[in-house]
Structure 1
Amino acid sequence: MKTLGVFNNKQVSDKKTSRLKNRVTTRAVVLDANKHIAILHSIKNNYYEIPGGGVEQNETIEESCIRECKEETGCVVEITNELGKTIEKIKESDVINETYCYVAKLIGNKGIPVFEEHEIEDVFEVIWVDIDKAIHLVGKTQHNNPYHTYMQQRALLFLNTAKELLKI
Structure 2
Amino acid sequence: MKEWHGAAGICINGNNEVLMVKANNSNAWAIPSGGIEKGESPEECCMRELKEETGYTVRIMKQLFVKDTMVKGYHVNTYYFLVEKYGESSGIGDPDGLIEEYRWLSLGEIGKVEHAYLEDKEVLKKLLTSLL
- Give TM class, smaller chain: 0.7 to 0.9
Deviates more, 1:28-37 or 1:77-86: 28-37
Match of 1:88 in 2: 69
Q: Distance in 2 between matches of 1:78 and 1:40?
A: 18
Match of 1:98 in 2: 77
Q: CA deviation at 1:161?
A: 4.1
Q: Distance in 1 between matches of 2:95 and 2:123?
A: 23
Q: Higher helix fraction: Structure 1 or Structure 2? A: 1
Please, which runs of 5 or more residues in structure 1 have no aligned partner? 1-19, 140-147
Q: Does 1:60 align with 2:26?
A: no
Seen in structure 2, the aligned counterparts of structure 1 residues 63 and 161 have a Cα distance that, compared at 3 Å, is: farther
Q: Distance in 1 between matches of 2:96 and 2:40?
A: 22
Q: CA deviation at 1:43?
A: 5.4
TM-score by length of 2: 0.86
Seen in structure 2, the aligned counterparts of structure 1 residues 54 and 71 have a Cα distance that, compared at 3 Å, is: same
Whether the 8 Å contact between 2:24 and 2:98 is mirrored in structure 1 is no
Deviation by residue 1:19-55 (Cα, 9 ceiling, x = unmatched): x212111111112233321111235221110101001
Tell which structure's C-alpha radius of gyration is larger.
1
Q: Distance in 2 between matches of 1:106 and 1:60?
A: 19
SS in 2 for 1:160: helix
In angstroms, what is the RMSD of aligned CA positions? 2.0
Q: Distance in 1 between matches of 2:112 and 2:56?
A: 23
> Percent of aligned positions with the same letter in both sequences?
22
Q: Distance in 2 between matches of 1:131 and 1:34?
A: 10
Q: Does 1:23 align with 2:9?
A: no
Equivalent residues, number: 132
Seen in structure 2, the aligned counterparts of structure 1 residues 24 and 79 have a Cα distance that, compared at 3 Å, is: same
Q: Higher strand fraction: Structure 1 or Structure 2? A: 2
Match of 1:111 in 2: 90
Please, which runs of 5 or more residues in structure 2 have no aligned partner? none
Match of 1:167 in 2: 131
Whether the 8 Å contact between 1:27 and 1:100 is mirrored in structure 2 is yes
Whether the 8 Å contact between 1:29 and 1:158 is mirrored in structure 2 is no
Q: CA deviation at 1:128?
A: 1.0
